[in-house]
Structure 1
Amino acid sequence: MEVLREQVERAAAGEEANYPRWVRVNALKSSVEEQLETTFSKHARAESIQDIVTKSGRHIYIDPHVPNLLAISPGMEFAKVEAYTSGKIILQDKASCFPAYLLDPRSEDGDVIDACSAPGNKTTHLAAILHDHRPEFEDAPQTIYAFEKDSRRAQTLEKMVKIAGSKDITRIGFGQDFLQVDPMAENYKDVGALLLDPSCSGSGIVGRDSMPELHLPDPPADNRGGKGKPSTANANKKKRSHDEVEERAQNVLVDDDGNETVVKSEKDLEARLEALSAFQLTLLQHAFRFPRAKKITYSTCSVHSQENERVVIRALASDIAKAKGWRILRREDQVSGMRDWPVRGLVEAAEGDEIVADACIRSYKGDGRGVMGFFVAGFVRDSIDGNDALGASIDTDGDNEGEGPYLRGDDGRILRDVVGMPVLKSTGVAVSLRGVDEGKEDGDEDEDEDEMEEDEDASSDSGTGSEDEWGGISDA
């Protein structure tokens, strides 16, 4: 009976039955270890994604690419699971986790922007990553500015942020269009990383084309026909229904926001993709203008090269990218999980540039890896804008681009001495606890401490005033 139930549920799930249920453990509230011992304690450990979708029973697989990500056998109902309702776990496709993980914001990157935030999976993932990378001695809290121009979707974002426990560090722009944000505004002077996941064709979304076949008992015998056989009229009616749905699926393009566009020809599809790619390029070029930004990820849930590699190539060739020093984040410089991901960009779509194509990350639904169709690429530069009100250009060592002034180990964590002080790249020596104060008299030290306390109070007051003046974002 249990096997029959699984078969019925799998058939009813349509295309989605061939995919695991991806679960991101929210590092703000829980850990993989805790969830393995509680929520998924009755799940057997699987050795591969194929085991998850083919073997009967409950199985779990720890993803080798994205930290804190689990693959669960399809069919588990999460609506009443405590870990889900409390925000300890978040249902998020593996590919959807790529942008925040590739961006990998750290404390030295300053504030972060999520340009098109709703429903909030990537926003809360950014918050979890910031939490994982938080320094032992925190200098100043980082802020995630989450923009969503659709007020209704912004409400969903707000709920998601609250449940995930990232309310304190996230400011939501209700109905605020990222393209209308001034990169030079005082509010964003410390923004060093941006995540862009704009509206797209949604051609990579799993389940968009599925039509489940219902398993129902045979109808009772009809005195006018054979036992259990449907009439010819009914059969024809069902066939027409299938044909109508298939025809509609071919003629309607549904984007990732759920908006439908009638596509009558290949020419219509090209026109729609061109319009989307023009918007996506504009968004990316706008992100290039933030004066202290040094890291950007651009992503879509599309399989069309017009929205993916071609946007990347056009962005790199733009005047703004060249003027401000933006370049592609090469594969060898990416975080380990993304560097090891085997599916890369299309060389032809990247106009023959193999380096750019290899830097782009792709996934395809139905290829056996259990993910939806997706694309992501990273952009970096070596220095912030010079000759602006925010200060002079800051260059980094070419061998340690974008990683700040401290040495890091193979795992990306800052190297520290026995008392926990970070080791400087420039000297190879840990930061001194006393530094220039060593030769001072005790009285001088006391005066300096008083001045520091006064500076901290002034800084705190200044920060509060800045928050009050900003009307575009509310605490969320």
Structure 2
Amino acid sequence: MDVYRDSTWILEDLVKQRNDNKLVSGSLKNIIISKHKQFKLNNKNLKNVFACTIETYKHLDVIDFLYDNLENIDELLAKLEKEKAKKPNKFTLYLMINDLLFSKNKRVQLPNNHYLKKFVNQLSKQLNKNWIKFQKINKIKTIDEYLLKQNGDSKPVDQPPVRWFRLNLVKLVTQDKIDYIKQEIINNFKHKVDSWQSVAQNLDCIYEDEHIPYLFAVSMDFKISKCKWYKLNQIIIQDRGSCFPLEILDINSDDYVMDCCAAPGNKTSLLGGYIYVKNRLETMEDDSEEIKPKENGNEEEEITRVIAFEKNDKRSDVLNNMMKNAGFETRKYNPDFTVAEQTEKFFDEDSMKIDIYHGDFSTLCNNDRNKEIYKSKFFKYNKAILDPSCSGSGIYGRASIDNLNKVDLEKYTAKEEERLAKLSSFQTSLVSHAMKLPNLTKLSYSTCSVNVIENEQVVIDLLLKHPDWEVIPKSESIPTWKRRGLDSAFKEYISEDGKESLLKGISLKEINNIKEACIRLNKEEDGGIGFFACGFQRKLKTNKK
């Protein structure tokens, strides 16, 4: 009963937001998890609460119809209230109705003698009759067919076509071990195929990505979390798109890199793997030799090659734990203290180190007390990854939220436009802040959004604001990737005859180069989430690669 109770609170709150015309943003998964924390519910039920709530929420309009067309429901509820001295919450009944009609087992998850199970089972004949009526009205045979029809999509389920994972180089260290584990994983499948599409419906196939090293795709039915490599932290689940920013930056072992919006930490751990393992292995004569971090040459400040920023307390802890699990030694860096006052130190001199900066990147160097400390510490960093908060329009698990928001299309459109404008302004200001750091020579900007206002428009705004910066050209930004910036995103910057640029200081040729420098991954079409990335470099002849 605990699962139904907890799910009721979350479902009721979600519906209240919708009825109050509040825009519900984010994926269903993240919304439910955040509300689970908000209501301080028992974590041991989270998985079941999530499954129960998300399925009922997706089927909400169907269950509304089934419930509203029940005969004598008010009298039956009054009778139950008289017998038990309490009346069940409507949304608790919704959750049970969903389990009875649409779950895999088609039964209410309660003991047979529970009064609510008996009550809902008593309604089953009427509910099934109403479901048949609903099917005829909407000309559908299954609930998935109805969702497909509502979404206007070719797939009934809002999930990725394949699952991606990569080797965690930090746990493998030597080239011999990397090659051994890679081959061991491949040998676990009957076929190694040359396209991710081939693995989508085939558990026996694995695909090795041609653009990102040590990245693989397998069927969604393959249980990665149960395999030994995952349990040993030798592999990490990470979507294809989120690996692209690192490839654009061309990270090498002499770089100092900031991950400015780091939590939960997938890009950070990939970054650490590149700096501490991948790039050093490529320059070592003996592949079996174990990697050891280079000395920074300044023991007093102990400047690490990687620093990750996160201002939120809980997300900072998540980031810290993920880095430790991935094989790094971490140190929490408090922005209110000088280097000498920091309480946390690194204990293992041979470890692969990451500083976790528990603070807001956008305020970096604005602290008067530590201005000189910031200059000595942070101005040594020459590259940065920026993946700021975005609309998340490219991620999975949003279809039900978006459809419910669009019930009142006019209000949804107005609120969404306002929200996107604020996000775009924030994204531009954050990257702009990074571009002002004097030693920074390259940075990548990325989002899991498909919206032009958060992607190509931000790129143009930054270049106009910072004429001393330019995009990293296509020839250096994963040139084999074909899907680039949208033509439509740059149309407003070009004259009607297509012969002149309307942007001050940016030529027509440069506009085309900017478009080609932008990278897009389309949701589903490219095997994962919708993603955008673009690299920038300072206009200096001495640019580091």
Please say whether Structure 1 and Structure 2 have the same fold, judged by a TM-score greater than 0.5. yes
Q: C-alpha distance in 2, partners of 1:181/1:344?
A: 32
2:263 maps to 118
Shift of 1:18: 5.2
Match of 1:173 among 338, 357, 368: 357
Shift of 1:247: 4.3
- Once the two structures are superposed, residues 69-124 of structure 1 have per-residue CA deviations (whole angstroms, 9 ceiling, x without a partner) of 01111112233323213221000000011112211222343x11001100000001
Contact 1:327-1:381 at 8 Å conserved across structures? yes
1:327 maps to 470
Q: C-alpha distance in 2, partners of 1:32/1:249?
A: 47
Return closer, same or farther for 1:120/1:330 CA change in 2, 3 Å cut-off: same
In the alignment, is residue 93 of structure 1 matched against residue 249 of structure 2? no
One-letter code aligned to 1:22 = W
TM-score (norm 1): 0.63
1:250 maps to 406
Matches within 5 A, 1:276-425: 276-318=423-465, 321-322=466-467, 325-334=468-477, 338-350=478-490, 351-352=493-494, 353-367=511-525, 369-383=526-540, 395-396=541-542, 401-403=543-545
Q: Secondary structure at the match of 1:264?
A: helix
Match of 2:309 among 147, 167, 170: 147
One-letter code aligned to 1:118 = A
Identical columns (%): 34
In the alignment, is residue 105 of structure 1 matched against residue 251 of structure 2? yes
2:44 maps to none
Q: C-alpha distance in 1, partners of 2:156/2:272?
A: 34
Q: Secondary structure at the match of 2:516?
A: helix
2:394 maps to 204
**Total equivalences in the alignment:** 326
One-letter code aligned to 2:364 = V
Structure 1 stretches of at least 4 aligned residues deviating more than 6 Å after TM superposition? none
Return closer, same or farther for 1:116/1:246 CA change in 2, 3 Å cut-off: closer
In the alignment, is residue 42 of structure 1 matched against residue 188 of structure 2? yes
In the alignment, is residue 160 of structure 1 matched against residue 318 of structure 2? no
Q: Secondary structure at the match of 2:382?
A: strand
In the alignment, is residue 25 of structure 1 matched against residue 171 of structure 2? no
Contact 2:158-2:399 at 8 Å conserved across structures? no
2:274 maps to 129
Return closer, same or farther for 1:366/1:78 CA change in 2, 3 Å cut-off: closer
- Once the two structures are superposed, residues 362-400 of structure 1 have per-residue CA deviations (whole angstroms, 9 ceiling, x without a partner) of 011132x212101000000243xxxxxxxxxxx42xxxx
Q: C-alpha distance in 1, partners of 2:308/2:402?
A: 38
Q: C-alpha distance in 1, partners of 2:192/2:514?
A: 37
Matches within 5 A, 1:177-192: 177-182=360-365, 185-192=375-382
Q: Secondary structure at the match of 1:84?
A: helix
Shift of 1:288: 0.4
In the alignment, is residue 193 of structure 1 matched against residue 350 of structure 2? no
One-letter code aligned to 1:27 = L
Q: Secondary structure at the match of 1:203?
A: coil
Q: C-alpha distance in 1, partners of 2:231/2:156?
A: 26
Contact 2:308-2:357 at 8 Å conserved across structures? yes
Contact 1:104-1:129 at 8 Å conserved across structures? no
Contact 2:165-2:217 at 8 Å conserved across structures? yes
Q: C-alpha distance in 1, partners of 2:178/2:483?
A: 26
Runs of at least 5 residues in structure 2 that lack an aligned partner in the other structure: 1-103, 105-143, 148-154, 285-292, 297-302, 330-351, 367-373, 495-510
- Once the two structures are superposed, residues 41-60 of structure 1 have per-residue CA deviations (whole angstroms, 9 ceiling, x without a partner) of 32121231111113x33210
Q: C-alpha distance in 1, partners of 2:448/2:214?
A: 21
Runs of at least 5 residues in structure 1 that lack an aligned partner in the other structure: 1-7, 211-244, 253-261, 384-394, 404-476
Q: Secondary structure at the match of 2:394?
A: coil
Contact 1:18-1:53 at 8 Å conserved across structures? no
Q: C-alpha distance in 2, partners of 1:169/1:147?
A: 14
Q: C-alpha distance in 2, partners of 1:155/1:120?
A: 11
Structure number with higher helix proportion: 2
Q: C-alpha distance in 2, partners of 1:284/1:116?
A: 11
One-letter code aligned to 1:198 = P
2:505 maps to none
1:274 maps to 421
Q: C-alpha distance in 1, partners of 2:402/2:450?
A: 20
Contact 2:242-2:267 at 8 Å conserved across structures? yes
Q: C-alpha distance in 2, partners of 1:290/1:75?
A: 45
What root-mean-square deviation, in Å, do the aligned CA atoms of Structure 1 and Structure 2 show?
Answer: 2.7
Q: Secondary structure at the match of 1:377?
A: strand
Q: C-alpha distance in 2, partners of 1:142/1:171?
A: 7
- Once the two structures are superposed, residues 402-434 of structure 1 have per-residue CA deviations (whole angstroms, 9 ceiling, x without a partner) of 23xxxxxxxxxxxxxxxxxxxxxxxxxxxxxxx
Q: Secondary structure at the match of 1:29?
A: helix
Q: Secondary structure at the match of 1:79?
A: helix
Q: Secondary structure at the match of 1:299?
A: strand
Matches within 5 A, 1:58-69: 58-69=204-215
